[in-house]
A and B are shown apart, each in its own frame.
Chain A
Amino acid sequence: MVAVDSRLRGNDKLDMCIKYKNVLSLKLNVNMPNPIIKIKNLSFAYQRENNILENVNLEVFSDDFLGIIGPNGGGKTTLLKIILGLLKPDKGSVFVFNKKPKEARNLIGYVPQFSEIDLDCPVSILDIVLMGILNRKKIFQKYNDEDFKLAKEALDFVDLQNLKDRQIGELSGGQRQRIYIARALIRKPKLLILDEPTASIDEKSEREFWELLQTINRNTAIIIVSHDIGVIFKNVNKIACLNKQLYCHGADEEITQDILDKTYKCDIELLGHGLPHRVLKKH
């Protein structure tokens, strides 16, 4: 059922894309909407001759909701880090909003993996949300009314205004995640990137979380990385399967058993909990 759903949604999207394309080509005489991310023949290795990404090609458009799945160690986070300009590719080209990744950072909102964040740090929720626009401040320069207004908007959007004076460690997993989203959204990004955001939150929070992302996706492109395949299929409109190579992408392509097989073939034992099998059966 799950997979059928996502395919239907995908086809709708494709129809819309085709219509959109036709309108554009009539008016502007272009063939394709311009991708916000263009990755060509990308390869990357942490250690020599041990590629973690190999010949990856990917295009992301401004209305995409892209899910990247794949086994642990398949290069998901590495790919995100390259898009964010935290790592440099060994081979190939990467353009984000037609710029080098580092120069495009002001258009990106980022929600890092939970493990990157120090929950004991004595900072308030409001402080954390304001960190999203810290780069706009000079030393000695204080946050002004405009900044606090932006923070309030972001907190209202994720419905956590009432917790603004609390410390991050006092919040539940689901609330924390929404704070990190608010911190990313205060930047008014054109692209939101989330790395494994559904780890350690309960089912209800997770449902609310995906609803929130759907709302954001109305005017922001989203890239989300997860190994929670079942949930991701229901919610995104594009899937990329990454295990060293990027095996598929695009709403027009069906996620076939073959593709999932290729993605997970070598790593089913590593995954251990048999998630890929469950997804395959649902096809």
Chain B
Amino acid sequence: MEILTYNFFQNALIIGILASIACGIIGPFVVAKRISFLSGSIAHSSFGGIGLAYFLGFNPLIGAAVFSILSALGIGIVSEKFKKNEDAVIGAMWSLGMAIGLVFIYLTPGYSADLFSYLFGNILMTGSADIILAIILNIVIVISVLAFYRWFTAIIFDKQFSEVINIAVFPIYLFLLCLVALTIVILIRIVGVILVIALLTLPAATAQTFNKSFRKIILWSILFGCLFTTAGIFLSYYLNLPSGPMIIFTAVFVYTGFLIIGKRSILRK
């Protein structure tokens, strides 16, 4: 356990916990609203922002934050306007963001060594700037959800009824997508653009197999998130394999286990 004394390892564990809080709070809404695919699209289009930030020479996570918020609003609005083609529209935005990112990176002189870490994450490269950014985003997310918790559940449960009692359904939905975007920004550092969606949804999906209220699902999601990231980091260290995939392996393994147990107990009923 000598490894725990290293600064980079402590940073990794801290950002893992910070990310678990964010995705533990937002993930349950993503799972309940069934917008995993849409969230994946937001995550991938944020790569456009990373590319742009590289090109202009500032912190790629700031670029990712701005880009993912814009693409959350864009995807939210466009998929609502073209409801019939929602699936294809989300897919198009998904690739568009990636394409923009790739063009900017091509245009940037020199070889971008840690670009790979934004695609697949590298929690061991976490710096103190990343941690401060994650803390700020977490504060925003916690306050927003405390304020809008009941509105989020209402529009997820029954959109049409909410509209009929004069709740601003669509603006609230867009706001939820913006919070998803902020969560994704924290997660990019850890698992990267490509694996984000698993860490966003799997803790919540695991918690949902044995809980029936948002409050409990949120608490359990945070715990599962901490478990997945911490276990993944240790696995990564001891097996000498990349951290992102190790976290995802842990998450999928545990989720599958709970799914099977859940299925069995339903059969027994």
| Contact surface of A with B, Cβ cutoff 8 Å | 84-86, 102, 105-106, 108, 110, 112, 116-118, 120-124, 127-128, 130-135, 137, 139-140, 167-168, 170, 183, 187
Contacts and interface: CB of A to CB of B under 8 A. Distances in A.
Contacts of B146: 140
Contacts of A122: 28, 32, 208, 211-214, 217
Nearest to B212: A167
B87 interface: no
Given A84-B164, A167-B212, 19 more contacts: A86-B163, A86-B164, A105-B165, A106-B165, A112-B160, A117-B158, A118-B32, A118-B157, A118-B158, A121-B153, A122-B211, A123-B214, A124-B213, A131-B153, A131-B158, A132-B165, A135-B167, A139-B151, A187-B165
Contacts of B163: 86
Contacts of B58: none
B179 to A, nearest CB: 14
B32 A120 contact: yes
Contacts, number: 84
Contacts of B151: 134, 139
21 contacts: A86-B164, A105-B165, A108-B164, A110-B165, A112-B158, A112-B161, A116-B158, A117-B161, A118-B156, A120-B32, A122-B32, A122-B217, A123-B153, A127-B153, A128-B157, A131-B162, A131-B165, A135-B166, A135-B167, A168-B157, A170-B212
B154 interface: yes
Nearest to A110: B164
A116 to B, nearest CB: 5
A64 to B, nearest CB: 20
Interface in B128-175: 146-148, 150-151, 153-154, 156-167
Instruction: Classify the interface of chain B: helix, strand, loop or mixed.
Output: helix
A140 B151 CA distance: 11
A86 B212 contact: no
Per CB-CB distance, the 9 closest pairs between chain A and chain B, nearest first, are A167-B212, A121-B157, A139-B147, A135-B165, A110-B164, A116-B160, A131-B154, A112-B160, A117-B158
A283 B62 CA distance: 73
Contacts of A84: 164
Interface of B: 28, 32, 146-148, 150-151, 153-154, 156-167, 208, 211-214, 217
Contact of A134 (B147, B154, B214): B154
B164 A131 contact: no
B143 to A, nearest CB: 9
Contact of A117 (B148, B157, B167): B157
A212 B156 CA distance: 28
A72 B158 CA distance: 23
A130 B157 CA distance: 13
A88 to B, nearest CB: 14
Nearest to A86: B163
B32 A121 contact: yes
Nearest to A137: B150
Nearest to B217: A122
Contact of A167 (B156, B167, B213): B213
B96 to A, nearest CB: 29
Contacts of A132: 165
A110 B161 contact: yes
Nearest to B211: A122
Contacts of B150: 127, 130-131, 134, 137
Which residue, B148, B158, B160, B166, has most C-beta atoms of chain A within 10 A?
Answer: B158
Contacts of B148: 139
B159 A116 contact: yes
Given A122-B32, A139-B147, A105 B164 contact: yes
Contact of A105 (B28, B160, B166): B166
Contacts of B160: 86, 112, 116
Contacts of A170: 212
A24 to B, nearest CB: 31
Given A110-B161, A134-B150, A167-B212, A121 B166 contact: no
Nearest to A170: B212
Which residue, B28, B157, B166, B208, has most C-beta atoms of chain A within 10 A?
Answer: B157
B156 A121 contact: yes
Nearest to B159: A116
Contacts of A183: 161
A137 B208 CA distance: 28
A112 B164 CA distance: 10
A130 B150 CA distance: 10
Nearest to A112: B160
A84 B148 CA distance: 25
A128 to B, nearest CB: 7
A78 to B, nearest CB: 13
Nearest to A183: B161
Nearest to B165: A135
